[in-house]
Amino acid sequence: MMKEFLEDISLKKGYNRSLILNSVRKYEPVSRTRIKEVSGIRLASITELVKELSEKGFLREVGVGDSERGRKQVLLELNSRNGFVIGVEFDADHVIGVAADLKAGILARRQIHFPDHRREAIIAGIIRIIGEVIENSGVPREKLMGIGIADPGIVDSRRGVSVFSTTIRDWHEVPLKEIMEAEFKLPVFLEESTRSKTLCEQRYGAGKNIDHLMFIEFGKGIGCGMILNGELFRGFSESAGELGHMRVIENGPVCNCGAFGCLEAVSSLPAIGVRAVKMIKEGANSAILDYAGGEVDKIAAEHVFQAARKGDKLALGIIDEVVKYLGIGIANAVNFFNPQMVIFDAAIGQVEDLILEPVKKMIKRQALDISTRQLEFEVSRMGEETGALGAATLVLDKFFEIPQLKIPDYL
């Protein structure tokens, strides 16, 4: 009697429901017998809960398969359209939103660019994009389960507050969770954008099922997301992975964070353009200026890359500096975290010849042999919606989360 009583406690049933849903999510199409093998739940309980979950529309039967003994087994899969989530990723000049089903299949995608980089305009753009992807999802609004937001700065995910960003002006202590929950009356989850992209890569991209992973983002800033022991790593105050703010030059250029000599201040895309402008204004001759249409203040990283490919000495010298410090920074991180794989974002892949290959050689040279002997390098093959899909995945993970089984307070 006591055994049956304990098995019927609602906490246990909730725990078992989550185990069943996650077993189907991971192994589908899967039989009830296989669910028993991977979850340890009694077959009678599985049968009862599968019936309940099917009636609620979360599971459905998809044919039959053979068991080891040759018997036919009815197979189950998630009913992906029985719910959907929204993921949003933004920066100072754009916002991308996706609607995704229960299997993270993209139902709708929208992107807008900001003519105005002010705080109010960014918040309004996020609200607009969420509304548009909800409308375009093709799924009834009442099936929307939550919203995930990938933020370019440091975040406090527990409070749902964007603490600050070095790439957006006037972006400090922004209560995005509170704002969006008041607007849409749904749960909202906030994550840092590089970590959202890292999660997306580990679930669906080049790093699928890799338990020790580093994702390097190269753009306006330099970010690093980490999967350690299969889990997204945030750190105590959620500032882990700020590779761009590693100090690499004594008394170097000032960084947007307020410190001097940060990797981001010497090797990010804006830093490359700034370095070229400074040297040309000081009298250096370079074809970089020609690629910028003769306007020195319009020089950007792309013009440096174009000139470097033509053998321009100034451009090649700037890139050598970028490679040196980027390679040292990543090598230090490799020594510290010992990943199985390093994934570079698509932006570095576009300059593979100039930056990626030299950086990989620098990492091999600078990091310990034991850390790099089996280290794999990949370039992201995901699209522009990587951060938004990663944010949507956070919401899905909350839905599928297995509750901790503990003694209730009332016992």
Q: Which domains does the chain possess? A: 2-78 (1.10.10.10), 82-199+387-399 (3.30.420.40), 210-381 (3.30.420.40)
Report the C-alpha gap between 73 and 100 in whole angstroms. 30
Q: How confident is the model over 72-79, as a mean pLDDT?
A: 92
Contact criterion met (CB below 8 Å) for 321 and 356 = no
* Average pLDDT of every residue of the chain: 91
Q: Percent of the chain having pLDDT more than 70?
A: 94
Q: Which residue has the higher pLDDT, 401 or 211?
A: 211
Q: pLDDT (tens digit, 9 = 90+) per residue, 113-129?
A: 987 778 899 999 999 99
What are the tens digits of pLDDT across the range 132-167? Answer: 999 999 999 999 999 999 999 899 999 999 998 888
Give 347-409 as a DSSP string: HHHTTIIIIIHHHHHHHHHHS-HHHHTT-EEEE----TTHHHHHHHHHHHHHHHPPPPP---T
Locate 55 and state its tokens.
């009636």
Per-residue pLDDT band at 64 (split at 50, 70, 90): confident
pLDDT one-digit tens code per residue, 163-207 = 988 888 889 999 999 999 999 999 999 999 999 999 999 999 999
Inform me whether the pLDDT recorded for 20 exceeds 80.
yes
Q: How far apart are CA 357 and CA 351, in angstroms?
A: 9
Interval 200-223 mean pLDDT: 94
Confidence grade of residue 4 (pLDDT, cut at 50, 70, 90): very low
> Is residue 406's pLDDT more than 80?
no
Q: pLDDT-based confidence at 8, cuts 50/70/90?
A: very low
